[in-house]
Structure 1
Amino acid sequence: MSSTTIIRSIDSFSSKSSLASPTVHKSIQSKFHKIIQFFLSFNIDRKETDDNTEQHAILVLRAFFIYMIFVGNILIVIFLSQSKHDFFITNTFEYHLIDARFPVKSSWIERNIRSNPYKNVQNKYGDIFMIDFNQIATFDDIWQFMNETIGNVFYRSHIWQSNSTVTSQRSIRWVLDHFLMIGVIRMRQVRVKPEKCNIPKSYSDEIADCYPAYSLDKKDTDPFGPITLSDSTKINMKQAWNYMSADKTGMGSYTGQYGTYDGSGYVADLAQYVRTNKHFTNDINELEKFHWLDKATRALFIDIVTYNPSVNLFSYIKFIFEMPLTGGIFPSYKIENKQLFRYITSTKYILIGCEIIIVTFTITFIFIEIVKIIELRLKIFLNIWNWIDIILLIISILMIIANIRRLLTINSPLYGKMSIYISTFDDLTIKLLRLQSLFDTLSILLTSISIIRILKYCDFAVTIIRIKATIQRCFGDLIGFLVMFVAIMVAYAQFGNLALGQQAPAFSTVGKAFVALFRTVLGDFDYEAISDASPIVGPLFFFLYIFSMVFILFNMVLAIIVDSYEELGNEHRDVINRMLIDVTPVIKQSIRKFFERFGLWEKVKVIVQFIISAEDPLNSKTVADLLQEFKYSTTSSLYDELRHAFAHDMTKLISKKDFQAFLKYSRDDKNRQRDTLQSLFSGNIPLIDFNEQQEWSKRARNLCTIQQWAQLRYRIARLEELFYLIEGKIDYTIRTSNNLLQNVILSIERSDNENM
């Protein structure tokens, strides 16, 4: 269905549904015409059916500049949404929470006494040993980390600021002098139900239950611990022993190293309602006393939210402790800094304006895609650029929805009551942080894809056209190579997992091994870990893999691309003529009209010529200048052939000597054509001879570049040397054969004489 059909169908629809007067109907119809034509003008994919090349060049330039406005607004929104203080805040919390060392009890000294250089210190526990967050390995270490590190940072080193009219619960809690603590600290664990062990009968009397890996069908939802006892009046944190769904906790799912955990679980909000160090310590001691963490725990999450008013950044600190069914505790952490209040700085009007422009462009793109779908139907999915347009449109819509939802949540009455005085866990801010994280991720994807989409409008650049044509030519070969590459990588990953998986952490699973091998290709590898895992198999595996990747596979990629580029070089003129959009005349004409409108064209022309002559001391000319001279000094056929041959090298410089030689050749050719025609009309030359001369002259005038001419002369010289060499070899062969024949004749004569 063509665009004309679309317009007619819309016009017919409007004419049938309209009950207004004929004048109003015609105005509405003309508006429909203009709107549809405007949106169809952005469909630059119709250039194959467009006969007006100049009009199409104007269309491409207009679409390119309008799209660059869209990309520019996206970049402005991204840069204004980011803060240069993110790294410093993350580094501050890592120094005070991750790298800070805290004491552990003497019963666990033996595990690290050999590897840790720190000396033992004496305190209330007796002999102690200092570890940091990454060295946590037991439940006791977790409680010590909560008491010592987190307690020191969030409940001991602080500044109280309170008004006389409010209670202590309404006081502001400062953390590290610059951060405000939002809500309280939350501990959340996920548990599994015990199940029967699949063990030999000889062990079944001693071992009753086993605890599986975490999954949704095996998670525990029943109350546990002292809350199940009849006398539970001494328990203050009753909620910590009861299961809460993800809707009630307000937490999202998390994917760790050993599993994926949903937002449900058993929640303990520490120092709730009374945010003091005493209540925080009492809650920690109660959980530790009644063994809130045990072998049924599969993951523990600690969530903390702070706000830095100096830089307007919320910080979400999350500590994760995973306890797989194989045993052990594996700590990790995540620190995110987000700017939830984005419209309070001096750049808020710029940010709002850019976001409005992005929304306008998104609505426009939706209409354009609808028109393209109506026009192309299922053919729209046969072009890779249409796929990119659809993906770009989906990401833009999702980003707008996430931003609107974030704004509605911030401006909601419920969030308006939330403040820095809140003494419960602020799950609403957690939701906002997740929305902001989604918005940032979508904006990053939108920026990347929109920048890649610029190549769609760059068909006026010869270099980009060559690259695009090369990729199109070798796309099938690259897909075949990709399949072979993945197959070889999977084979090596399986081999690495089986041979090195028990000792090397990077090869503990097939997936990790695949990632490690891919990073090895980029030069990021730990050869010592591979060698230590297996002194014989490790180095052999490593060097075999490197040889396969570098010397075989990568050479194949280079060969595929280089061969395709060379094949394209033989026919690059036809390909470029088919793909190129010549916008140079349009740009020159636009510039000229702009300056002519102010009466400055002649002055600008003189200035440009002066600059060109100043930058070109040799007074060299271009191919465009040569063509300009050829208009008046040569025949039309030679002019057309030269213009076609140098269609994409108009700015190529020609020396003054070559320029004059070309002009002399053209004048001589024109004179020769005139003399030939005069001889023909006077009857001196037969028509057949004239046709033969014209055919020879036409073939002889197939001009080439200076480089091609030099290459041709070099090949002719080599060919002459080859002929001389062949001639010498033939002479040598003749002389040798004559000498041999004479020797044979002499030997025969001697034998005959001897016989006689």
Structure 2
Amino acid sequence: DGELGPPYAFFPVGWGLGEPVAPDPSASLEEKDAYATMLSEWSPADSAGEVFKLYWDVRADKQQAFDMLAFVEDGGFIDEQTDRVEVEMVTFNPNVNHFTLLKFVYDWTSGGNVQWDWAMRSVYMDTYSGTHGAAQLGVEMICVLLLALSCLAQARDLVTAFRTFTVYKFVSSPGNWFDLAHIALMWAAWLMWAVHFQRTNSFTMRDHYPVLSDPGADCRFFAVNSTAEADFLDMARHVEGASESLAQYSAVTSTVVTLFILRAVKSMDFQAHLGLLSRTLSATINDLAHFFFVWLVVMLSYAASGVQLFGHAMDSVSTLTKAMVFLFYQTVALDPTVFYDQFKHAAPYWVFQLWLWSFLFVVWLIMFNVLVSILIDGYVKVKEESGQARGLFEEVGDHITHAFRSLTSSKSAFMSDSQVMACLLAQKGGMPSTRQLREVLLSSISDSVTVRLKGGVEIDEGTMVSLTTEPPVAHEESRQQFLDFSMPLGEADGAGA
């Protein structure tokens, strides 16, 4: 009747889609009627798109494995109905409790081509076992503590913004949003790790999985023990799930590390020499935005023409997206051996040469050098601005010297920055002039300076300043009287004479 059925000697695994299973004799009348209805509607064609699973058991010897493979080849397991073959292997290292899931995929496409791909995932089930696991747990606890402290610091900054009425400035800062996004991503990574740990911690396995009913059978090589098969598939499913969760966690944590590096670069902007990179990017951000817009237009133009000229012959430029990726790789690392012969035969020779040399001249030479020029120009400007600034080592030396003098020098000879700040804060409310500020600072350093003369006359610092300053003419007589009073009697008479 033209209907397709399963290959001979191979049995489909429909997982509920194959031939209906007869109900238990004690089943209700409704269940038996439903089974009769499904059986009347089912045909072998329903199994044409189902999965055919074959197992090679480790109990089979080498010769038996080759016999099983020959049976697959001769029995028509792969025929005109086959569109996909997957080969899966689960390996286990008992010394470190390490599982590896290896998968090969072969897809039959229209025209007879076979595309293949592979994937490998590995996972440790005993996460915190042994000395290495204990050390890992300690490091993770430290990381969580530091993350909590970072959250408290961000909360403190937000509270400070509310108290100082600078909430808009805090919210409108892209750097603050970048920090908050990074912190949120780190907490998401820890949540993913908790889910992964729950999967690995609940994992159990059997001593062995005798999937094949009889590894040494002369026929029906692939007959399976359904219970052992279900146990093996459950184990493989758990290994695949744990390895996939570990891969997703690794992807997020690698992104977290990259963002952490960007935050570190951003935080170095406080120092003139450490912030060369961040300040250079800030100085050139406007020019870079315009440059990348022009670069995108040019690259899209060459990608579109590349798809039209060479897309029919090379998969790397068969679509606009693939062509953009291909051109980017050729821009940063030109390798003519990858494309020259194929492109030369895929289009007229003169068109290929025109496309290639114009791309090299416009993109690879001009635009690439324009990008470098923009960055160098911004770097030169930033370098000129920070040329006279003190370097990191000088500032560190200043801090060390300041701390040493704070510990060893007397209060009357040295005033630390913290003391200056305390004085400034104490007098901030009622400080109308810089003269009063200077007097407060001087009075905090040492006691008042007083000169005691013969006869019990005391001259304070203010009087000394007035004596050394040229007085107005109107006060010359008062100044002379003061000098006459201060001198001994004999010297005063001599001075008068």
TM-score (norm 1): 0.40
Q: Show the counterpart of 1:465.
A: 275
- The question of whether the paired residues in 2 share the 8 Å contact of 1:460 and 1:582 is answered with no
Matches of 1:377 and 1:460 in 2, distance apart? 22
Flag the 1:318–1:391 CA change in 2: closer, same or farther, 3 A.
Answer: farther
Q: Is it true that 1:360 corresponds to 2:145 in the alignment? A: yes
Flag the 1:582–1:499 CA change in 2: closer, same or farther, 3 A.
Answer: same
1:315 positional shift: 2.0
Select 2:286's aligned residue among 453, 463, 476: 476
Q: Show the counterpart of 2:373.
A: 559
1:478 positional shift: 0.3
Identity %: 19
SS at match of 1:270: coil
1:239 positional shift: 1.0
Q: Residue type of the partner of 2:146?
A: F
- The question of whether the paired residues in 2 share the 8 Å contact of 1:320 and 1:331 is answered with yes
1:565 positional shift: 3.4
1:524 positional shift: 4.3
Matches of 2:152 and 2:373 in 1, distance apart? 43
Q: Is it true that 1:533 corresponds to 2:346 in the alignment? A: yes
Provide, for residues 130-183 of structure 1, a one-character-per-residue CA deviation record: whole Å limited to 9, x for no partner: xxxxxxxxxxxxxxxxxxxxxxxxxxxxxxxxxxxxxxxxxxxxxxxxxxxxxx
SS at match of 1:541: helix
Matches of 2:107 and 2:351 in 1, distance apart? 32
Q: Show the counterpart of 1:416.
A: 204
Matches of 1:435 and 1:418 in 2, distance apart? 22
SS at match of 1:315: strand
Provide, for residues 217-250 of structure 1, a one-character-per-residue CA deviation record: whole Å limited to 9, x for no partner: xxxxxx97339xxxxxx76633159769xxxxxx
Q: Show the counterpart of 1:343.
A: 128
Q: Is it true that 1:317 corresponds to 2:102 in the alignment? A: yes
| Aligned counterparts, 1:68-217, within 5 A | none
Q: Residue type of the partner of 1:393?
A: I
The number of residues matched between the two structures is 346
Matches of 1:315 and 1:458 in 2, distance apart? 42
SS at match of 1:475: helix
Q: Show the counterpart of 1:433.
A: 243
Q: Residue type of the partner of 1:359?
A: V
Q: Show the counterpart of 2:325.
A: 515
Q: Show the counterpart of 2:421.
A: none
Q: Residue type of the partner of 1:530?
A: F
SS at match of 1:301: strand
- The question of whether the paired residues in 1 share the 8 Å contact of 2:331 and 2:363 is answered with yes
Matches of 2:315 and 2:175 in 1, distance apart? 41
- The question of whether the paired residues in 1 share the 8 Å contact of 2:127 and 2:197 is answered with no
SS at match of 2:313: coil
Q: Residue type of the partner of 2:204?
A: G
1:300 positional shift: 3.5
- The question of whether the paired residues in 1 share the 8 Å contact of 2:85 and 2:106 is answered with yes
Provide, for residues 390-436 of structure 1, a one-character-per-residue CA deviation record: whole Å limited to 9, x for no partner: 33223312221222112212222xx2245554742221111011011
Provide, for residues 489-536 of structure 1, a one-character-per-residue CA deviation record: whole Å limited to 9, x for no partner: 111111111101112232122111111110111124323333343333
Q: Is it true that 1:550 corresponds to 2:358 in the alignment? A: no
Flag the 1:286–1:592 CA change in 2: closer, same or farther, 3 A.
Answer: farther
Flag the 1:548–1:681 CA change in 2: closer, same or farther, 3 A.
Answer: same
Matches of 1:242 and 1:364 in 2, distance apart? 53
Provide, for residues 16-41 of structure 1, a one-character-per-residue CA deviation record: whole Å limited to 9, x for no partner: xxxxxxxxxxxxxxxxxxxxxxxxxx
SS at match of 2:88: strand
1:371 positional shift: 4.9
Q: Residue type of the partner of 2:94?
A: P
RMSD: 4.0
Q: Show the counterpart of 2:11.
A: 237
- The question of whether the paired residues in 2 share the 8 Å contact of 1:490 and 1:514 is answered with yes
Q: Show the counterpart of 2:177.
A: 387
1:585 positional shift: 3.0
1:593 positional shift: 7.2
Q: Residue type of the partner of 1:455?
A: V
SS at match of 1:490: helix
Flag the 1:241–1:456 CA change in 2: closer, same or farther, 3 A.
Answer: closer
Which has the higher relative contact order, 1 or 2, with Cα contacts under 8 A spaced 6 or more apart?
1
Matches of 2:104 and 2:16 in 1, distance apart? 22
**Structure 2: gaps spanning 5 or more residues:** 19-48, 212-231, 409-468, 473-497
- The question of whether the paired residues in 2 share the 8 Å contact of 1:225 and 1:292 is answered with no
Flag the 1:274–1:334 CA change in 2: closer, same or farther, 3 A.
Answer: closer
| Aligned counterparts, 1:332-731, within 5 A | 332-372=117-157, 375=161, 379-380=169-170, 382-412=172-202, 415-418=203-206, 421=209, 423=211, 424-425=232-233, 426-459=236-269, 461-525=271-335, 526=338, 527-534=340-347, 535-568=349-382, 571-572=385-386, 584-590=397-403
Matches of 1:550 and 1:420 in 2, distance apart? 59
Matches of 1:325 and 1:480 in 2, distance apart? 45
| Aligned counterparts, 1:325-336, within 5 A | 325=110, 327-336=112-121
Matches of 1:303 and 1:266 in 2, distance apart? 17
Matches of 1:559 and 1:591 in 2, distance apart? 46
Matches of 1:543 and 1:529 in 2, distance apart? 16
SS at match of 1:503: coil
1:380 positional shift: 4.4
Flag the 1:308–1:531 CA change in 2: closer, same or farther, 3 A.
Answer: farther
Matches of 1:306 and 1:317 in 2, distance apart? 8
Flag the 1:391–1:326 CA change in 2: closer, same or farther, 3 A.
Answer: farther
Provide, for residues 680-702 of structure 1, a one-character-per-residue CA deviation record: whole Å limited to 9, x for no partner: 9699xxxxxxxxxxxxxxxxxxx
Flag the 1:329–1:243 CA change in 2: closer, same or farther, 3 A.
Answer: farther
SS at match of 1:302: strand
SS at match of 2:333: coil
